[in-house]
Structure 1
């Protein structure tokens, strides 16, 4: 019942957000904003009517009117792959440097660097990365980014890296803090005094106590990646789901884009949960 209530609430929020560009009107003479709520009923009825027909509706791209169903699949998998790789890279990097490699000197240097980067807003880091990639191309001729939607791999791997920035910083700090807190517990000291190997202690004792915190914060990690994805797909002209949100002020494509992004985030979340479960079942002794 609780899940059903949350689903209904999310549905209402999404369709309301999608309707905002159409119901807000700006009066240039009086220089004020008015809300034209009378259109909402018609938009909702038309949205449900399109779904009942088995159609997702149309959207306007430049001077063309295209069917959403014809383009949504490719765009969906583009955004999904970028988000999945970005979140997975954040979790793996956080575990490696925040837990399993934390005792090495190079990790301490990386920790200092990441703490400095964590103080910089995500948007600034993304802009700086784009400028750096352009400068590298000017100096070496190596192209790392492309602003064309048909650029192939250049539209995927660099956005994946940028999407992973904020989640990686967050995961690394979270795991590093929990690692140092857990390392001071009595059972860890007992394991060290018995001469157990560091890797064994990290796998069998430390990780098992840190895992609940990782799972609890996984929703925030995914949300950070989604926030970056919106910025990156817009700036790099990536043909993802956000195209339906940014390139049109129509209710139908914005709604489909938002629901698609919600579905992507749920799939990515449960995919990471499965990866963590397989990791625990395969390498952690129960």
Structure 2
């Protein structure tokens, strides 16, 4: 319990420190160097806690308007949460289907070739190319694939969700493919094949059960990849997500609230994946 409390305090201070970087860093033009004003940190911590203790998340500036954060954060939070939940869970499901259960089909080899090509391209370039392709599709066919209007509803969220899922899929599919071939060469798998067990039974009852711990161990990294892309996607595609409070303000309060919200979204996504695995095992795996 003490260790968990220590971790919470460290994370709290770290996020506030990151949010306060614009305030504690100054450029000394006379000496041409950066100056760090760490003595401001205790005051920043105190002001943040004081604001929260009043039952308010504080204010942020949107253009010439000063708005209360709690009035706008709900819709933005759920937009980012929806994109992350669908994107990450879809990446895991697609990687499992093609990496394990459809691995013997020719379609999987084609899918693997496409992902290997995409994995050599930086995520930012993939996002930009995807947007250019979406614009060209509209020019060629008249079908609107994306919208840069923040009030466009599903048209402004499904494409960002697709882009968020790309990086986790690239990483996870390669991991599952490697672990699948390693597991397939184990003696207990050869014994199961020799006994005449079906391939689907072996994949469900043996292969998946041995690969799942590796996926669980990499969940934090998978979610981190998705969060990194979410920052880029919401900014360049004008999605009204939680990153608005981070990018559109240089004040400590909205940046800190945005970062804490990102942490909460990551935790919810992590728990959702663990829940999906639990339900999958309860329904298909014989313990």
**Counterpart residue number, 2:164:** 163
> Given the two structures, how large is their TM-score scaled by the length of structure 2?
0.96
**Counterpart in the other structure of 1:21:** 22
Listed one character per residue, the Cα deviations across residues 67-96 of structure 1 (whole Å, up to 9, x for unaligned) are: 000011111100100001010011001100
Query: TM-score with structure 1 length normalisation?
Result: 0.97
The number of residue pairs the alignment matches comes to: 286
Q: What do the CA deviations read for 1:115-163 (whole angstroms, capped 9, x no partner)?
A: 1111111111111111111111111111111112111112211110000
CA distance in 1 between partners of 2:281 and 2:130 (Å): 35
* Structure-2 residue corresponding to 1:132: 133
Q: Partners of 2:137 and 2:208 in 1: how far apart?
A: 39
Deviation at 1:48, TM superposition (A): 1.2
Runs of 5+ consecutive residues of structure 1 not aligned to the other structure: none
- Assess, with a 3 A threshold, how the Cα gap between structure 1 residues 38 and 4 changes in structure 2: closer, same or farther: closer
Aligned equivalents of 1:18, 1:271: Cα separation in 2: 28
Residue equivalent to 1:87 = 88
* Residue matched to 2:47: 46
- The answer to whether residue 274 in structure 2 is matched with residue 273 in structure 1 is yes
Map of 1:95-174 to 2, 5 A cutoff? 95-174=96-175
- How far has the Cα of 1:42 moved from its partner? 2.9
Q: What SS does structure 2 have at the residue aligned with 1:44? A: helix
Matches within 5 A, 1:120-269: 120-269=121-270
* SS of corresponding position for 1:60: strand
Deviation at 1:35, TM superposition (A): 2.4
Structure 1 CA distance for aligned equivalents of residues 39 and 215 of structure 2: 45
Give the corresponding residue for 2:13: 12
CA distance, structure 2, for counterparts of residue 101 and residue 170 of structure 1: 18
Deviation at 1:282, TM superposition (A): 0.6
* Aligned counterpart, 1:69: 70
Q: How large is the Cα RMSD of the aligned pairs?
A: 1.2
Cα deviation, 1:26-76, whole Å, max 9, x if unaligned, reads 345654332233433332222111111100000000110000000111111
Secondary structure at 1:164 match in 2: helix
